[in-house]
Amino acid sequence: DSGVTQTPKHLITATGQRVTLRCSPRSGDLSVYWYQQSLDQGLQFLIQYYNGEERAKGNILERFSAQQFPDLHSELNLSSLELGDSALYFCASSVWDRGQGTQYFGPGTRLLVL
């Protein structure tokens, strides 16, 4: 158990809908990262937040957005969903100290868009 929790574990929805994925980082970790894992794209970095501020962006679609709240939990919002958005979405967290840190991954949310 990495200490990172994600809800829900599974999500089934229809095209055009909007969903919210939730992540609680390990205690004390200020950074939260979101990744998408799909068969054709592999593990792709989406976005990073540090103590409530966006710090890095990857291959995140404009239909997707995220935020980190004062209690450090994070939410990933996916809107206007398409079939191709079906994937595993992972959250990771890290503590960053003197230029070093390890990312710990949660168990993921499996999204199926029908």
Partner 1 sequence: QQQVKQSPQSLIVQKGGISIINCAYENTAFDYFPWYQQFPGKGPALLIAIRPDVSEKKEGRFTISFNKSAKQFSLHIMDSQPGDSATYFCAASVVTGGGNKLTFGTGTQLKVEL
Q: What residues make contact with partner 1 under the rule CB under 8 A? A: 2, 4, 30-31, 33, 35, 42-45, 48, 50-51, 53, 55-56, 58, 90, 92, 94, 96, 99-108
Which residue, 17 or 102, is less far from partner 1 as judged by CB? 102
Which residue, 16 or 58, is less far from partner 1 as judged by CB? 58
Q: Which residues of 64-87 are buried (b: 16+ CB within 10 A; e: fewer)?
A: bebebeeebbbbbebeebeeebbb
Which residue, 45 or 86, is less far from partner 1 as judged by CB? 45
Contact 14, 85 (CB under 8 A): no
